[in-house]
Amino acid sequence: MQKLCDLIKNNQSFLRKRVLLYAKLHNYVKYTSTLEEAWVASIEGLSSALLNAIAIDPQVPEIGVDHDFVNNSMASFGAIEAQKHRERGVTLEMFLGLMKYYRQSYLDLIGESIKDQEQRKLYLLWVNRFFDHNEISFCSEWTAQTKDTIISELQLASRKLTNEKNKYLTIFESVSTPAVLLDAENRCVNINYAAQQLFKEDPQFPGSVYYAKLPAQQEVQNFLPWLTNEFMDFRWSDKLELSIEKNFAPPNQGMRNFNIKFHRMLDVSNKFEGIIILFDDITEFKKIEEQLRHISFHDLLTGLYNRNYLEHESLRISNGRLNPVGFISIDVDGLKLVNDNCGHSAGDTLLITVGDIIKGCFQDSDLVARIGGDEFAVLLPLSDEKTVLSGCRRIKEEVAKHNQIHLNMPVSISIGWSVGNLCVNKAVDKIIVEADRLMYTEKQGNSLKYAALFKERLTKYGQDMFKRPD
């Protein structure tokens, strides 16, 4: 009998699928559980009782004329199931009818798996007698109760079911995530209170849709016209669930961003087919996400791009499709001099001023970045030598204009530049090295000149140095 035991233990999935197939074929699913786990539990319970019976006595359990079904361990499963199903309002005929297909599933397993005729005959007889014991035990327990007892059990079960329904309805209405339930014909059959507040200008009260005399039955294209295309794409796909992001302006609100989840009903019986849609408002999260993205790629002081973004873009254009690429290296002269004599707030003002000057010399498509304490850079895709030199000239001209107007805020910068074709004879880092080399050469002379200019202006303006106008 060990082979029979192993066969049953190793084929629980086969048994579950086969009995569910029979239940669907003969419409027993009309009154059975929708969740797969319930069918798993029923097969596990039945298999466990069968295996225990074999372990107690491997001989075929024949049925004698004076057989005691009340105190028989093999038949105890049937008695317990009778009590459970009677309380649930299942009729004797209904239970025995479905039990025949549970029996058939086990017989199918044996018939399809055991090739030896004598062995197959023995196993089929054993399983048949096991089911005979339990079906007789079921009937014995069922008929032993009086009519009044059965009515009392049904009344108690009805009250339990009502409380169970109320509990899950309360949970559904209390969930803060808006939820919409659609049936197999894409009609709205229920929405929770959070969804009422989201979609209706005049939401009523929790449970108002469920208890309405004429519950919501609008088709999705009328109820959620702005979501119809995405819903129908999911409806006709083979996906169990799908998440999308979409903007929507609820009544009396501005535009909001939602993470919308479509999920099919988990109903293996196929009697409650439909889709649930959940709406998660992620507007504030997206704002924070955008702020973090901005911070990760921008310099907090000047608002320009930072070194991280420059490296990111350098990698992006390294395939050479935006050749030629120009690079301008810029260093602020005398920042330490300003910090030491006027304070770090004055140094910050100098850096902000330089950043504004450089940014104003280029288009939005050009990348202007602050890449270090006093270092700035400009990355110019699709720019030849003439274009890059023109950019350098504009920067110097704007610095000169600034110094003529803002006498108390002297600015001096050193510039170096380079142009190259990526993936041909230069990488981005090589272009940067060339630009830096020219910049440092120019800086050697500029540092002394700025020190003299700064000393002159400091003597004249004193505490008003690098002071922005109110």
Report d(CA 284, CA 257) in Å as an integer.
9
The candidate with the shortest Cα–Cα distance to 261, out of 281, 246, 244, 274, is 244
The model carries a pTM of 0.66
| Residue the block writes with tokens 């002269």 | 333
For each of the domains in the chain, give its residue range(s) and CATH number, in order of start. Answer: 2-145 (1.10.490.10), 176-286 (3.30.450.20), 298-464 (3.30.70.270)
Report d(CA 309, CA 325) in Å as an integer.
16
Report d(CA 432, CA 375) in Å as an integer.
12
375 forms bridges with which residues in the sheet? Answer: 331
For 32, the token pair is 């059975």
| Residue the block writes with tokens 């002071």 | 467
Q: What is the pLDDT along the chain (470 residues), one digit of tens a residue?
A: 899 999 999 999 999 999 999 999 998 888 778 888 888 888 898 898 889 888 888 888 888 777 776 667 777 777 777 767 666 667 778 888 888 999 999 999 999 999 999 999 999 999 999 888 888 888 877 777 667 776 776 677 677 777 887 888 888 888 999 999 998 889 988 889 998 888 887 777 787 777 776 556 788 888 889 999 999 999 999 999 999 999 998 887 889 999 999 999 888 787 778 999 999 999 999 999 888 888 999 999 999 999 999 999 988 888 888 889 999 999 999 999 999 999 999 999 999 999 999 999 999 889 999 999 999 999 999 999 999 999 999 999 999 999 999 999 999 999 999 998 887 556 788 889 999 999 999 998 898 999 999 999 999 888 888 887 76
Beta strand residue intervals within 265-412, DSSP E: 274-281, 325-332, 367-370, 375-380
Instruction: Based on DSSP, count helices (H) and strands (E) in the chain, helices before strands.
Output: 16, 9
